Amino acid sequence: MGSGKKSALSQEQTEALRALPSVEELMEFPALSAAIEQYGRELTVDSARNVLERLRASIIAGKEGGNIAGLAEAVAREAARIFEPSLKSLINASGVVVHTNLGRSVLADEAIEAVVRVASSYSNLEYNLDEGKRGSRHDHITRLVMALTGAEDALVVNNNAAAVLLALTVFGGGRDVIVSRGELIEIGGSFRIPDIMASSSARLVEVGTTNKTKLSDYQRAIGPATAMLLHVHTSNYKVVGFTAEVDVTEMTELGHAHGLVVVDDLGSGVLAELPALVDEPSVHDSLAAGADVVTFSGDKLLGGPQAGIIVGKSEYIEKMKAHPMARAMRVDKMTLAALQATLAMYLKPEEALAKIPTLRMLSETDESLKARAEELAAGLKTALGAGAVDESGAAAIGVERAASKVGGGALPLLELDSWVCTVSPSGITVDELAARLRETDPPVIGRIHKELLLLDVRTILPGQTDAVARAFQQAFEIPQP
Ligand SMILES: *Cc1c(COP(=O)(O)O)cnc(C)c1O
């Protein structure tokens, strides 16, 4: 908590506050009549209230008072913004490959084309062209997922959280589901295993301790009300030191001996063999270990659209497909199209690595990363002018080795050696530079380390180098040719 010390307002601040018009007065400004006509009175009043509130807060915080003459324009801009696209594309220079806040995976061209095709015309989404009658949307993808994972059957829902909720509801509803205390995870965006359980009507039975859970812990907890054993991949943290956990093979042996369903929530789910991902459990391994149902995300390491992929034994997948909740979680045609195109590339691993951006980023060579960091540094120096390289200019620019993360809220502490372009601004602080780069078009999101802004080239898409350089010109207000 802060010190709670409130400084009294200066005379200047008090006067600035007094000089502000009320919402009603502001609405009478002649310069606002166009906005009222265009956006309606209600929305304009709302905008006026927001603008005044921000201005008041800014005066109280001792920042600029703003000018009353520009108030009407600010209100009109505020109203206009509601109708502008708010989801903007930006440049991810953070080095975090699967960045949940930045939209996770970038789709491959093939997936984008598939989305455009299916979105711009009618399709056979639920129509069987051979028989001329109603078909199932699942049919477009089931065989492909089965072929790639070796599973008996498959189902796709909106995201992996939905997949886990569906499994808990179908197999654990009204009964007990046993989970290790070491796996009661929270994933960014408030996906918490205990909360998902609570909303599923399955009863959570925790076993073991945070650092150690043994097979005998599960064994002792199994009773007449037990329906399911849940294994959760602890995808975003690791317990190190004095630890023990039960692997899926042991868990399935125990579960099956008691007639229980064993579900493995893999989180990311790896389908490709990548050196960077050797420690991530693969879908194959989990099925081979005997899990009845395995769930994973479409937009984490798979590199496709947001989706929850469920694979496993036919009898269980059938039950999940038939549950009314599956209807409420069904995937959209655009998701299906993108997922199908992404998965199809996994048939040839070299093709998947070359074309799926997430996999390409994770497998980019040191040499290539270094070359791109140097190219970016050269581009920035040119864009910022000769001054960029010495203390009198906008910024000092260098190239350094650093570590990229696979995924902020999604994956382990896995770090990959990468190369970054470092920027040490002069005249402004590094925080100020980062803030200005959030306002450029497109915004550039880097990483701050000590007094340096790091631009990690691993997540900067090929062809974005010039856009980064232009963003820096905008940030430093250097006129562009
Ligand atoms: C990410 C994750 C989820 C949630 O998946 P979404 O696709 O984001 O809904 C669930 N479980 C684990 C282990 C995860 O890593």
CATH number of the CATH domain containing 274: 3.40.640.10
pLDDT at position 187 is 64
DSSP codes of every residue in 187-215: ETTTEEHHHHHHTTTBEEEEES-SSB--H
**Does 232 sit in the ligand 1 pocket, CB within 6 Å?**
yes
- Write the residue with the smallest CA distance to atom 6 of ligand 1: 160
pLDDT at position 235 is 67
pLDDT at position 38 is 94
Cα 129 from Cα 108, distance rounded (Å):
28
**398 lies in a domain?**
yes
346 and 369 part of one domain: no
- Closest ligand 1 atom to residue 306 Cα is 7
261 and 140 part of one domain: yes
pLDDT at position 394 is 65
**3 lies in a domain?**
no
77 and 151 part of one domain: no
Between the CA of 21 and the centroid of ligand 1 the distance, in Å, is 49
**233 lies in a domain?**
yes
172 and 261 part of one domain: yes
- Closest ligand 1 atom to residue 299 Cα is 7
| Alpha helices, DSSP H, located in 329-412 | 333-344, 349-355, 357-363, 366-384
Which CATH number covers residue 468?
A: 3.90.1150.110
348 and 372 part of one domain: no
Number of domains in the chain: 3
| pTM confidence score | 0.88
- Closest ligand 1 atom to residue 235 Cα is 15
**163 lies in a domain?**
yes
Task: List the chain residues with pLDDT less than 70.
Answer: 1-7, 64-67, 187-190, 235-240, 386-394, 408-413, 479-481
Give strand pairing partners of 157.
308, 330
Spell out a b/e string for 107-126, using b for 16 or more CB atoms within 10 Å of the CB, else e: bbebbeebbeebeeeeeeee
pLDDT at position 40 is 94
**99 lies in a domain?**
no
Q: What residues make up the domain containing 397?
A: 363-475
pLDDT at position 427 is 81
